[in-house]
Amino acid sequence: MTLQLTGIWRYPVKSCRGEELTAARVEPWGLAGDRRWMIVDGAGKAVTAREFPRLLLVTPQLNGGDTITLAAPDLPDLTIPVPDGADLVPVSVWASDLSAAPAPASAAEWLTKVVGVPVRLVYLDDPTRRPANPDYSLDGDRVSFADGYPLLLATEESLAAVNGWIAEGTKADEGPIPMRRFRPSVVVSGAAAWAEDKWRRVRIGPVTFRNAKGCDRCVLTTIDPDTAVKHHEPLFALARHRRWDQKVWFGVNLIPDNPGPDAVIRQGDPVEILE
């Protein structure tokens, strides 16, 4: 069995459009530049595409670390500086309460036009502030504004299995769906479908990862990232074939063991199952 890294995806702003990369540096809290930005409401609570699907039409572009540019249909592009962290505000993402640096008011005005309700943009200037879920991680593990863990791994073969189930179901016209629906960080090919469920430790290129736990999936996977239109699949198919603990599952969450300046993964890297 020859395994290979075939895709690398980064999502600069939580719940906004991702970008495919040919290479990425692995930091303790995720891929460099991944989900360091987040949209929040007036109380500082995370706002996501689950409630506001149009966020998936927002395309962020990182500009060398000093600025970020946001683009969306029917709006002029907006470029704002990365906050320096001198001012902080309280924010929350799921069970995590922490501090983040607010972006300029122009970002709040721009994003409010996208979603239709008042929102703000914040930046995680110090990603060491947020521990990973202690139930499935070690004391020193950290995570950005991702839902729970630094990276998400999916396999091409498992996606093919899901698309086969969709084709057999009552919503066959909704398939096949692209891997982008599941918003993975890394995509692997060469394994049997669902083999990733049993991987405990993997090496991708020079970087070793722990499989923290499987990833339970939500309604976000049903939203077409190109149109922001909600559908039924893939949750219908997963509910028929991948349902346990009252949840449906696709992909596995990874935590890096040896992140750092030289921890760079590249498309085409070999993938080795260590345990």
pLDDT surpassing 80 at residue 84: yes
Residues contacting residue 154 through CB under 8 Å, at least 6 positions apart: 179, 182, 184, 186, 187, 188, 196, 250, 251
Kindly report whether the peptide bond that precedes residue 259 is cis, defined as omega within 30 degrees of 0: no
Residue 213: per-residue pLDDT: 97
Residue 52: per-residue pLDDT: 98
Residue 1: per-residue pLDDT: 65
Task: Give this prediction's pTM.
Answer: 0.96
pLDDT surpassing 90 at residue 27: yes
pLDDT surpassing 70 at residue 230: yes
pLDDT surpassing 70 at residue 112: yes
Q: What is the mean pLDDT of residues 17-35?
A: 98
Residue with tokens 């572009």: 61
Residues contacting residue 25 through CB under 8 Å, at least 6 positions apart: 31, 32, 261, 263, 264
pLDDT surpassing 90 at residue 60: yes
* Number of domains into which the chain is organized: 1
Residue 101: per-residue pLDDT: 98
Q: What is the mean pLDDT of residues 29-34?
A: 98
Mean pLDDT for the chain? 97
CATH of the domain at 117: 2.40.33.20
Cα 37 from Cα 39, distance rounded (Å): 7
pLDDT surpassing 70 at residue 104: yes
Ramachandran sector of residue 30 (left: φ over 0; alpha: ψ -120 to 50; beta: rest): left
State the sign of the Cα–Cα–Cα–Cα dihedral 260, 146, 179, 234. Answer: positive
Domain range enclosing 180 = 3-273
> Cα 251 to chain center, whole Å?
12
Q: What is the mean pLDDT of residues 104-123?
A: 98
pLDDT digits (tens, 9 = 90+) for 45-55: 999 999 999 99
pLDDT surpassing 70 at residue 270: yes
